[in-house]
Amino acid sequence: MAGRTLEAALHLLDRQLVDKDGRLAGKVDDLELEFPAGGGPPTVTAILAGPGALSRRVGGRLGAWVEAVTNRLRDGDDRRPARVPFAVVKRINSAVELSVARAELETNRLEAWTREHLIGHLPGAGDAPE
Amino acid sequence: MALPTLLVLGKLGLAVLLVGFFAATFGAALETGLSCGYSVAQYFGFQWGKFVRPADAPRFHLVVLVSILFGAGLVLTTIDPITVTEYSIVLSAAALPLTYFPILVVANDPDYMGDKVNSRFTNALGSLYLLLLLVVAVATIPLMVLTKAGS
């Protein structure tokens, strides 16, 4: 496979995440990097997505507020942002295509919460369009 | 508008007019609600659209519902809707370069555009139009203040 140089900030950050069924699964809000013990360039180990990751990029009072709200909505004491292991990335074009369904991703937590507590209760929520 | 219609066209005319009012405001409410949903969902990368079940795009539908409620609440404050419309049109004109410039950038990105990427000629046209938009954006707020929003 011919090498294609990607610039992390340009070709990954803020791109759309698309799951294996073509459903939209959030944006690449941040990247988890690992620095090899012996030195050398870092490798991307995971995509961080969702308000937990975005809030740290926004920073300041607004970022702290978003992060607090996100943590409040979450079950348990887990404070880290939603993580998508880089191993499930299938292809990188204008969007980042994943090889799993979005229901299996941590980034789907708020979406699932909204469905479970709000939208799922509305009449017609499960109706397929014509 | 309703009273002159009643005088000229009678009760039947008024009924037709009221149906028209309802259709126009109902349609506009749906359109603006959906438009807010699309913008927010696209920005954050949520699943959106009416081609999936609402349960499959819950956050998109939540934004749509909240925007319609917010709009209804805004009207219920008895604020003059014509004033709101005038100011929002002026402000959207002032913000045009901010929405147009990113599109021009994407039009130059072969990742997104493939072989349809902008040529020198289309970029020249696009930049010319950007200049025009900048003039409009800079002029629009002082003009609004000077003319007191056209009153």
CA geometry: angle B46, B49, B55, nearest 5 deg: 70
For residue B100, pLDDT over 90 is answered with yes
Residue A1 confidence class, pLDDT cut points 50, 70, 90? very low
φ and ψ at residue A91, rounded to 5 degrees: -150, 150
Q: What whole-number distance in Å separates Cα of residue A20 and Cα of residue A23?
A: 7
Query: Does A17 lie at the interface with B, CB-CB under 8 angstroms?
Result: yes
Instruction: Report pTM.
Output: 0.82
Instruction: Provide the shortest C-alpha distance from residue A28 to chain B (in Å).
Output: 9
Q: Smallest Cβ distance to B59: which of A49, A111, A124?
A: A111
Query: What pLDDT was estimated at residue A130?
Result: 61
Partners of residue B45 in chain A, C-beta under 8 Å: 16-17, 24-27, 49
By CA distance, what is B65's nearest residue in A?
A119
Share of chain B above pLDDT 90, in %: 57
Query: What pLDDT was estimated at residue A2?
Result: 54
Query: What pLDDT was estimated at residue B109?
Result: 87
Partners of residue A120 in chain B, C-beta under 8 Å: 55, 58
For residue A69, pLDDT over 90 is answered with no
Listed in sequence order, the residues at least 6 apart from A104 whose beta carbon sits closer than 8 Å to its beta carbon are: none
Partners of residue B48 in chain A, C-beta under 8 Å: 24
Residue B9 confidence class, pLDDT cut points 50, 70, 90? confident
Least confident of A34-43, A77-86, B80-89: A77-86
For residue A82, pLDDT over 90 is answered with no
Complex ipTM value: 0.84
Mean of pLDDT values over A68-95: 83
Q: Is A46 exposed, middle or buried (0-12, 13-18, 19+ CB in 10 A)?
A: buried
- Placement of tokens 């961080």 in the chain: A48
The domain segmentation of chain B, as residue ranges, is: 1-79, 80-151
Q: What whole-number distance in Å separates Cα of residue B88 and Cα of residue A87?
A: 46
Instruction: Provide the shortest C-alpha distance from residue B133 to chain A (in Å).
Output: 26
Alpha helices in B45-80 (DSSP H): 58-76
Q: Is A11 exposed, middle or buried (0-12, 13-18, 19+ CB in 10 A)?
A: middle
Domains delineated in chain A: 8-120 (2.30.30.240)
Chain-chain contact of A110 with B47 (C-beta, under 8 angstroms): no
Least confident of A69-78, B38-47, B112-121: A69-78
Q: Smallest Cβ distance to B111: which of A17, A93, A122?
A: A93
